[in-house]
């Protein structure tokens, strides 16, 4: 890092190396052999991380480094292109970090291969400002260089000409983010998101960098407004900067993308295994305006034989958009509709926004005001006021435990009513009267601070409040769905990508966006199927349900004012296609569930970009229109209107069409017929994939049988089965099977674990592709 001054001395204590420079200190900590933290306390002496909690650190400590050695070095001789410099070197069992006498930090493999070196030249920002913005800057007494280069936290790293970048959460754009720039500032922008957008609802400052034959990760843990330039201003480097906070960089080794993702999620936490039903199909619309509306939609799904778990309750169910209230006039007595539809297998999922209506006599307003639970004005004299759906509103200060507990108490009341899952929205936080001023006062637990620091973790804290309350109260695995998030929020919530639109390019963007979220630790994610804003078309909806068939958050949602988006609105052909893919999703549910269970162990998502498993294959580096489900299925959806033949790429190996069993040799492109209603899906040779029978919803009947889909070679499968709802699996209450299927279909079953009270399957059958 620049401006450190000369190195004065250093001291090693355990896994930690403290280096004193003329102007600042730098602390390097080896958390494991492959996770190294570089901390420059510019703003505070402690990390104050929201992504890496005490409990995360305890877990990481269990895989602490095998060795940590420190020594002074005269120069680096590995021929990495950097000029020889003296400094200190720290080695773990896997990595080497060299800190030069000027404070530059370079990361190597133990064999001396440079993974990431600090850029020694000067940064030269491109001036992209328009004439009026320039005038404004001048009037404020700034230069352009000031605004880009004048940030207190900076890290500029040299990149190889053929280096590729992945990650950064929900950002729009392609899988490979090289040559683009981004900002981390949670943003609710209702216009049509496109690949030039720098920020969306979530801030996940985690970047995966892939060079020839290796990969590594950079996680800049800082909640202030931050920026990434990924070789846009200069292909020689990538630049990170932040408005405030510390340089708190976790260098994440692992060599392969899979291992880097595994290490990142070891550090920031893994999404807990969800309840089985939550992975099923959900229907929603902002504008289901009465119990009658919800009931009719729910009944129609059953009547048409399209499986469905929930018809979700958007803000219409509230009384005047007051959170934790119920609109009795249009929705009847609280809880009654839940019971009625519960009898038909529907689970109630309700939206809860943070904005609390300012209104005398309204219990949330009274309690929040009296308890001092809301954000305060910059001079800390009054509660801060902005506006959201209910009009003038206050914002709960979720950074404090007492506020989270207060919120949690009301979440528990919803659980008492029968609510099964909570959908958190507008928690960037959104505001209709201009953005929240940066100096609005809030707390990080006991410490008074401002919105500048808290903005990007507002949704994170809200999700944590909701998750903790539900977990403690119900003992079940909570489903919390959140729009805003930070790194680490995956421990508490699933995510969706907010307000997309019924546009073909939004359907196409879904693939890189969800793959990216998965690589950033969010395995349970989805987009609004059919598009939220604008009007969908029959063909677009049909292609959208095909492409979403393997989504872990599988929901059709649309906005008030747009045309209704239930499949039957588009005629028989679309309804039939819709039914086919929703049913297919349910058949593959045990595979998705197995992958979610494995994710708790390895951190890998369900939906994966091909580059994750085929790192040596350049075709996959920016392949945006195909994805893998686990390792065994490859999905090539049609995302272009009018297209009836698709160009498909299959990577190395042999693959079989799921539909026809046709055998394909990999590492080549070919054309596949893809009429409307037909999405190309391929099964990797040697796979065994578990499948359920058809069902209308999870819980309709006991799941007493399993099918094993195999390719002609046979193969083996470790399959997980539990009660689907609570945490008893963590105490061993699950069945674990190993199925070895040979080329003739003959199968051997080994029980690897037996549950206390989960009845094993009564039947199994083998479905062979040929």
454 close to 428: Cβ distance less than 8 angstroms? no
Residue number, nearest CB to ligand GLC: 286
Determine whether 499 is an active site residue: yes
Among 118, 229, 314, 546, interactor with ligand GLC by CB under 6 A:
314
The span from the CA of 111 to the CA of 96, in Å, is 9
Which one is catalytic: 244, 428, 546, 566? Answer: 428
In order of 51, 451, 544, 639, the CA distances from 547 in angstroms are 31, 38, 5, 8
524-543: contacts with ligand GLC (CB under 6 A): 532
Which H/E stretch holds residue 689?
strand 688-691
Q: Which residues contact 132 (CB under 8 A, 6 or more apart)?
A: none
> Should residue 34 be labelled a site residue for ligand GLC when binding is judged by CB under 6 A?
no
Whether cis (ω within 30° of 0) applies to the bond prior to 576 is: no
Determine whether 3 is an active site residue: no
Let me know the angle formed at the C-alpha of 635 by 632 and 636, rounded to the nearest 5 degrees.
150
How near is the Cβ of 191 to ligand GLC at its closest, in Å? 12
Q: Whose Cβ is closer to ligand GLC: residue 317's or residue 407's?
A: 317
> Should residue 315 be labelled a site residue for ligand GLC when binding is judged by CB under 6 A?
yes
How near is the Cβ of 426 to ligand GLC at its closest, in Å? 6
Q: What is the DSSP code (8-state) at residue 153?
A: E
Q: Whose Cβ is closer to ligand GLC: residue 316's or residue 539's?
A: 316
Which one is catalytic: 176, 425, 615, 626? Answer: 425
500 close to 531: Cβ distance less than 8 angstroms? yes
- What are the residues facing 96 on neighbouring strands? 91, 108
Among 65, 274, 408, 498, interactor with ligand GLC by CB under 6 A:
498
How near is the Cβ of 290 to ligand GLC at its closest, in Å? 16
249-278: contacts with ligand GLC (CB under 6 A): none
Burial profile 254-288: b = 16 or more Cβ within 10 angstroms, e = fewer: bbbbbbbbbbbbbbbbbbbbbbbbbbbbbbbbbeb
Q: Whose Cβ is closer to ligand GLC: residue 477's or residue 483's?
A: 483
Alpha helix locations (H) across 588-689?
589-602
Pick left, alpha or beta for residue 12 (phi over 0 → left; psi -120 to 50 → alpha; otherwise beta). Answer: beta
Q: Whose Cβ is closer to ligand GLC: residue 99's or residue 495's?
A: 495
480 close to 425: Cβ distance less than 8 angstroms? no
- What are the residues facing 528 on neighbouring strands? 555
The span from the CA of 429 to the CA of 395, in Å, is 8
The span from the CA of 381 to the CA of 386, in Å, is 16
Phi, psi (deg, nearest 5) at residue 183: -125, 150
Q: How many residues bind ligand GLC (CB under 6 A)?
A: 10
Q: Whose Cβ is closer to ligand GLC: residue 94's or residue 557's?
A: 557
How near is the Cβ of 526 to ligand GLC at its closest, in Å? 12
The span from the CA of 363 to the CA of 360, in Å, is 8
Among 483, 585, 632, 684, interactor with ligand GLC by CB under 6 A:
483
Closest CA to 115 of 5, 256, 14, 245: 256
In the chain, the largest separation of any two C-alpha atoms, in whole Å, equals 79
Let me know the angle formed at the C-alpha of 677 by 672 and 682, rounded to the nearest 5 degrees.
45
- Residues 553-572: x/- map of binding to ligand GLC (CB under 6 A)? ----x---------------
Pick left, alpha or beta for residue 703 (phi over 0 → left; psi -120 to 50 → alpha; otherwise beta). Answer: beta
Which H/E stretch holds residue 513?
helix 504-519
Q: What is the DSSP code (8-state) at residue 118?
A: B
The packing angle between helices 571-587 and 538-548, to 10°, is 10
Q: Whose Cβ is closer to ligand GLC: residue 262's or residue 429's?
A: 429
Three-class DSSP category at 267: helix
How near is the Cβ of 535 to ligand GLC at its closest, in Å? 16
407 close to 466: Cβ distance less than 8 angstroms? yes
Q: Whose Cβ is closer to ligand GLC: residue 207's or residue 315's?
A: 315
How near is the Cβ of 558 to ligand GLC at its closest, in Å? 8
> Should residue 282 be labelled a site residue for ligand GLC when binding is judged by CB under 6 A?
no
Among 118, 181, 397, 425, interactor with ligand GLC by CB under 6 A:
425
Determine the number of helices (DSSP H) and then strands (DSSP E) in the chain. 15, 47
How near is the Cβ of 175 to ligand GLC at its closest, in Å? 24
The span from the CA of 218 to the CA of 318, in Å, is 43
114 close to 122: Cβ distance less than 8 angstroms? no
Closest CA to 306 of 521, 557, 491, 575: 575
How near is the Cβ of 383 to ligand GLC at its closest, in Å? 23
The span from the CA of 243 to the CA of 223, in Å, is 10
Q: Whose Cβ is closer to ligand GLC: residue 426's or residue 612's?
A: 426
632 close to 654: Cβ distance less than 8 angstroms? no
Among 114, 239, 351, 479, interactor with ligand GLC by CB under 6 A:
351
Q: Whose Cβ is closer to ligand GLC: residue 187's or residue 263's?
A: 187
Phi, psi (deg, nearest 5) at residue 652: -40, 145
Determine whether 425 is an active site residue: yes
Neighbours of 70 (CB within 10 A): 18
Among 39, 206, 286, 338, interactor with ligand GLC by CB under 6 A:
286
Q: Whose Cβ is closer to ligand GLC: residue 532's or residue 621's?
A: 532
How near is the Cβ of 532 to ligand GLC at its closest, in Å? 6
Q: Whose Cβ is closer to ligand GLC: residue 468's or residue 499's?
A: 499
C-alpha Rg value of the chain to the nearest Å? 26
Closest CA to 484 of 245, 221, 169: 169
The span from the CA of 378 to the CA of 723, in Å, is 50
Q: What is the DSSP code (8-state) at residue 476?
A: B
How near is the Cβ of 170 to ligand GLC at its closest, in Å? 13
How near is the Cβ of 364 to ligand GLC at its closest, in Å? 17
Q: Whose Cβ is closer to ligand GLC: residue 257's or residue 291's?
A: 291
How near is the Cβ of 425 to ligand GLC at its closest, in Å? 5
Which one is catalytic: 163, 181, 314, 499? Answer: 499
How near is the Cβ of 287 to ligand GLC at its closest, in Å? 8
Among 118, 383, 453, 499, interactor with ligand GLC by CB under 6 A:
499
Q: Whose Cβ is closer to ligand GLC: residue 310's or residue 620's?
A: 310
The span from the CA of 677 to the CA of 580, in Å, is 8
Residue numbers annotated as active site: 425, 428, 499
Question: Contact positions toward ligand GLC, by CB under 6 A?
Answer: 286, 314-315, 351, 425, 483, 498-499, 532, 557
């Amino acid at each position: 890092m620049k401006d450190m001054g000369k190195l004065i001395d250093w001291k090693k204590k355990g896994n930690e190396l403290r280096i004193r420079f003329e102007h600042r200190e730098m602390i390097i900590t080896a958390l494991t052999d492959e996770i190294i933290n570089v901390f420059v306390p510019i703003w505070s002496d402690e990390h104050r991380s929201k992504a890496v909690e005490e409990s995360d650190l305890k877990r990481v400590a269990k895989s602490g480094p095998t060795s940590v050695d420190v020594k002074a070095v005269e120069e680096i001789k590995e021929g990495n292109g950097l000029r020889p410099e003296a400094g200190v070197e720290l080695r773990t069992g896997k990595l080497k970090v060299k800190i030069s006498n000027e404070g530059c930090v370079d990361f190597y493999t133990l064999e001396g291969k440079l993974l990431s070196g600090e850029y020694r030249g000067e940064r030269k920002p491109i001036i992209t400002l328009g004439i009026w913005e320039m005038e404004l800057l001048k009037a404020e007494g700034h230069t352009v260089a000031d605004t880009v280069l004048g940030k207190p936290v900076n890290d500029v790293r040299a990149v190889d000409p053929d280096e590729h970048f992945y990650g950064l959460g929900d950002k729009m754009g392609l899988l490979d983010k090289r040559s683009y720039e981004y900002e981390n500032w949670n943003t609710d922008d209702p216009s049509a998101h496109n690949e030039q957008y720098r920020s969306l609802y979530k801030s996940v400052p985690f970047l995966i960098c892939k060079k020839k034959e290796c990969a590594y990760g950079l996680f800049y843990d800082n909640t202030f407004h931050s920026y990434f330039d990924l070789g846009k201003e200069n292909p020689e480097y990538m630049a990170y900067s932040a408005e405030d906070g510390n340089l708190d960089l976790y260098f994440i080794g692992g060599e392969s993308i899979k291992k880097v993702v595994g290490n990142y999620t070891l550090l920031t936490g893994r999404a807990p295994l969800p309840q089985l039903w939550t992975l099923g199909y959900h229907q929603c619309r902002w504008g289901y305006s009465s119990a009658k509306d919800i009931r009719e939609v729910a009944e129609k799904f059953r009547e048409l034989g399209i499986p469905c778990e929930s018809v979700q309750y958007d803000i219409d169910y509230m009384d005047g958009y007051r959170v934790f209230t119920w609109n009795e006039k249009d929705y009847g007595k609280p809880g009654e509709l839940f019971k009625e539809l519960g009898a038909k297998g529907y689970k109630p999922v309700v939206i809860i926004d943070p904005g609390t209506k300012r209104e005398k006599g309204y219990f949330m307003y009274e309690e929040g005001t009296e308890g001092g639970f809301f954000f305060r004005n910059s001079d800390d004299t009054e509660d801060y006021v902005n506006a959201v759906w209910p009009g003038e509103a206050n914002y709960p200060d979720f950074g404090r435990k007492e506020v989270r507990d207060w919120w949690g108490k009301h979440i528990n009341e919803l659980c008492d009513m029968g609510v099964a899952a909570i959908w958190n929205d507008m928690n960037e936080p959104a505001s209709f009267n201009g953005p929240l001023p940066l100096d609005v006062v809030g707390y990080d637990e006991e410490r008074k601070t401002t919105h500048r620091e808290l903005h990007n973790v507002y949704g994170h804290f809200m999700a944590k409040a909701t998750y903790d309350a539900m977990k403690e109260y119900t003992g079940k695995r909570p489903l919390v769905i959140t729009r805003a998030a930070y790194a680490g929020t995956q421990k508490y919530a699933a995510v969706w990508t907010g307000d997309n639109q019924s546009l073909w390019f939004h359907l196409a963007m879904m693939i890189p966006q969800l793959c990216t979220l998965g690589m950033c630790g969010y395995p349970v994610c989805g987009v609004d199927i059919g598009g939220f804003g604008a009007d969908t078309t029959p063909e677009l909806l049909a292609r959208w349900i095909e492409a979403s068939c393997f989504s872990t958050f599988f929901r059709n949602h649309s906005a008030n004012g747009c045309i209704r988006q239930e499949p039957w609105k588009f005629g028989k052909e679309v309804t039939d296609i819709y039914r086919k893919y929703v049913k297919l999703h349910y058949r593959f549910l045990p595979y998705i569930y197995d992958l979610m269970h494995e994710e708790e162990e390895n951190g890998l998502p369900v939906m994966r970009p091909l580059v994750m498993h085929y790192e040596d294959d350049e075709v996959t580096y920016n392949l945006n229109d195909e994805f893998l489900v686990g390792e065994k299925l490859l999905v090539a959806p049609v995302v272009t209107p009018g297209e009836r033949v698709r160009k498909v790429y299959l990577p190395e190996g042999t693959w079989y069409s799921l539909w026809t069993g046709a055998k394909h040799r990999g590492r080549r492109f070919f054309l596949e017929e893809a009429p409307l209603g037909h999405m190309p899906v391929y099964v990797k040779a040697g796979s065994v994939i578990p499948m359920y029978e058809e069902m209308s919803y999870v819980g309709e009947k006991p799941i007493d049988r399993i099918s094993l889909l195999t390719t002609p070679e046979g193969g083996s499968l470790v399959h997980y089965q539990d009660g689907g709802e609570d945490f008893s699996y963590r105490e061993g209450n699950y069945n674990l099977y190993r199925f070895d299927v040979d080329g003739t279909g003959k199968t051997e079953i080994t029980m690897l674990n037996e549950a206390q009270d989960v009845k094993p399957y009564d039947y199994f059958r083998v479905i062979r592709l040929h």
